[in-house]
């Protein structure tokens, strides 16, 4: 099978998808923005061929590259795993008659207002929302729904560019800051109170073969606004517990409604006083190295599972569910440069056998702002057979291990 993979070397974990496709028996043709000389020898050894383009989100360049590749060999699939690449790759895929995620599905997984409108029409509970294209749209929505509200880019990811609005004065400020006053459309929706988590899947022909449920502590919007918080993402190994039945069924309903066939997905959800609410979906793997967390928890290779789904139409191995696992982000106490750490030795003495991987940048490294994300500064990945014990040890890490800056 000949599979084009978009951008095989950046960001760095992209190489894992190339490795897995090669291991599953595919001839992998890379398309990327960097010269072939940029690729290291290992990535080159996994690639059958490589084509450089000016930009992997520039559809004409991508279309020309795929045409050229098709002139040499039959192309069975073209795949992308980065959010910004999904829509342009879907357009090229459709234009060249290559199977895979359609432009309709890619659009609905990218555009939050359209996504939620379609899901609500099909009985899937979501926050009230709309696409606001003018300040008056936002004002009318706020008058109808009430505060608090969330405003975000229609195709944003995570908490990037997201505002929580509690009154008319804040709404007017965000109308200016978000670009809405200048004609930039935004997604506006009711704020849903409750606990936030996500469910990641690997589906084949619309059927879920692998799934993993992860909890945010605290919710993302709070975690991305407060420096003192060491936010956690904790993946449960109790996925068969009755309390997860509804979110697992919701996942399958979303996959059916959005016509997702063979793909990884990343779905966010809330559960609170208004019950279970779908938040958003990406038709791709999650970010922040989360598949590495699933691999550590389940003693298998999810990248290879994904590749087998594409190449062979089936998965290879069941997850062990032996461990609950997670990641905790550790923020510097101020912006500047990292001056050192405290509590590292204590944490390793207590939990050395639970620590899967640690990233503690060297003293002198420039800090990154809180809003840069969970992996922007220091972080640890950990696992434990018991989910409650995992939560306790992650709390202890957050309280004990400190990153100092000056």
Whether residues 95 and 24 fall in one domain: yes
Q: Write the pLDDT tens digit of every residue in 193-213.
A: 999 999 999 999 999 999 999
Number of domains in the chain: 3
The percentage of the chain sitting over the pLDDT mark of 90, rounded to a whole number, equals: 94
pLDDT of residue 23: 98
Whether residues 280 and 384 fall in one domain: yes
Please indicate, yes or no, if residue 264 is contained in any of the structural domains. Answer: yes
pLDDT of residue 156: 59
Core vs surface per residue 307-344: b (16+ CB within 10 A) or e:
bbbbbeeebeeebebebbbbbbbbbbeeeeebbebeeb
Whether residues 250 and 397 fall in one domain: yes
pLDDT band at 159 (very low <50, low <70, confident <90, very high): low
Q: Write the pLDDT tens digit of every residue in 299-315.
A: 999 999 999 999 999 99
Query: Is residue 160 pLDDT above 70, yes or no?
Result: no
Is the CB of residue 327 less than 8 Å from the CB of residue 379?
yes
Query: Is residue 109 pLDDT above 60, yes or no?
Result: yes
Q: Write the pLDDT tens digit of every residue in 340-363.
A: 999 999 999 999 999 999 999 999
The H-or-E segment that residue 20 falls in is: helix 14-23
Query: In angstroms, how far apart are the furthest CA atoms of the chain?
Result: 60
pLDDT of residue 158: 53
Q: What is the pTM of this model?
A: 0.93
Sort 31 into a burial class: Cβ within 10 Å, 0-12 / 13-18 / 19+: buried
Last residue of a domain, one of 169, 190, 211: 190
pLDDT of residue 154: 83
Whether residues 23 and 157 fall in one domain: no
Lowest mean pLDDT among 111-115, 326-330, 341-345: 111-115
Please indicate, yes or no, if residue 286 is contained in any of the structural domains. Answer: yes
Please indicate, yes or no, if residue 24 is contained in any of the structural domains. Answer: yes
CATH code at position 133 = 3.30.1490.20
Q: Write the pLDDT tens digit of every residue in 361-370.
A: 999 999 999 9
Whether residues 252 and 183 fall in one domain: no
Nearest to 23 by CA among 306, 294, 263: 306
Structure tokens, 191: 């704020």
Please indicate, yes or no, if residue 177 is contained in any of the structural domains. Answer: yes
Over residues 333-345, mean pLDDT:
97
Please indicate, yes or no, if residue 106 is contained in any of the structural domains. Answer: no
Is the CB of residue 98 less than 8 Å from the CB of residue 75?
yes
pLDDT of residue 375: 95
Please indicate, yes or no, if residue 118 is contained in any of the structural domains. Answer: no
Sort 353 into a burial class: Cβ within 10 Å, 0-12 / 13-18 / 19+: exposed
pLDDT of residue 68: 98
Last residue of a domain, one of 83, 100, 117: 100
CATH code at position 87 = 3.40.50.20
Whether residues 289 and 392 fall in one domain: yes
Whether residues 270 and 396 fall in one domain: yes
Whether residues 361 and 266 fall in one domain: yes
Whether residues 276 and 171 fall in one domain: no
Please indicate, yes or no, if residue 305 is contained in any of the structural domains. Answer: yes
Please indicate, yes or no, if residue 112 is contained in any of the structural domains. Answer: no
Q: Average pLDDT over the chain, rounded to whole?
A: 96
pLDDT of residue 406: 95
Is the CB of residue 141 less than 8 Å from the CB of residue 132?
yes
Whether residues 351 and 264 fall in one domain: yes
Q: Write the pLDDT tens digit of every residue in 209-229.
A: 999 999 999 999 899 888 999
pLDDT of residue 225: 84
Lowest mean pLDDT among 72-86, 160-174, 284-298: 160-174
Is the CB of residue 228 less than 8 Å from the CB of residue 218?
no
Whether residues 95 and 174 fall in one domain: no
Q: Domain range holding 159?
A: 128-190
Nearest to 113 by CA among 91, 93, 137: 137
CA distances from 160 to 41, 137, 182, 262, 321 (A): 35, 22, 19, 28, 32
């Amino acid at each position: 099978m000949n599979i084009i993979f978009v951008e095989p070397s950046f960001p760095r974990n992209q190489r894992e998808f190339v490795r897995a496709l090669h291991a599953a028996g595919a001839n992998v043709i890379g398309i990327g923005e960097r010269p072939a000389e940029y690729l290291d020898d290992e990535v080159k050894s996994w690639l059958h061929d490589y084509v450089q383009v000016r930009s992997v989100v520039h559809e004409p360049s991508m279309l020309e590259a795929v045409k050229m590749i098709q002139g040499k060999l039959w192309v069975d699939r073209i795949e992308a795993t980065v959010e910004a690449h999904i829509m342009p790759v879907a357009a090229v895929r459709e234009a060249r008659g290559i199977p895979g995620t359609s432009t309709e599905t890619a659009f609905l997984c990218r555009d939050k207002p359209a996504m939620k409108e379609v899901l609500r029409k099909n009985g899937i509970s979501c926050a009230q929302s709309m696409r606001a294209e003018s300040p008056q749209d936002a004002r009318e929505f706020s008058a109808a729904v009430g505060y608090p509200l969330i405003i975000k880019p229609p195709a944003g990811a995570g908490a990037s560019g997201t505002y929580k609005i509690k009154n008319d004065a804040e709404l007017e400020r965000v109308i200016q800051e978000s670009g809405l006053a200048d004609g930039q459309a935004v997604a506006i929706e009711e704020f849903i109170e409750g606990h936030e988590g996500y469910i990641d899947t690997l589906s084949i022909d619309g059927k879920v073969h692998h799934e993993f449920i992860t909890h945010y502590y605290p919710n993302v919007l709070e975690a991305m606004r407060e420096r003192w918080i060491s936010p956690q993402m904790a993946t449960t190994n109790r996925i068969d517990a009755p309390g997860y039945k509804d979110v697992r069924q919701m996942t399958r309903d979303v996959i059916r409604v959005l016509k997702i066939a063979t793909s990884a997905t990343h779905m966010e959800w809330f559960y609170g006083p208004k019950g279970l609410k779908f938040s958003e979906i990406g038709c791709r793997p999650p970010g922040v190295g989360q598949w590495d967390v699933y691999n550590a928890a389940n003693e298998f290779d999810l990248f290879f599972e994904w590749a087998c789904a594409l190449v062979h139409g089936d998965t290879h191995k069941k997850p062990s569910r032996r461990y609950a696992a997670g990641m905790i982000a550790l923020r510097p106490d101020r912006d500047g440069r990292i001056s050192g750490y405290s509590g590292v030795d204590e944490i390793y003495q207590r939990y050395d056998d639970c620590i899967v991987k640690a990233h503690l940048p060297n003293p002198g490294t420039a800090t990154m702002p809180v809003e840069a994300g969970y992996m922007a500064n220091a972080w640890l990945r950990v696992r434990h057979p018991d989910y409650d014990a995992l939560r306790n040890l992650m709390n202890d890490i957050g309280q004990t291990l400190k990153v100092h800056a000056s």
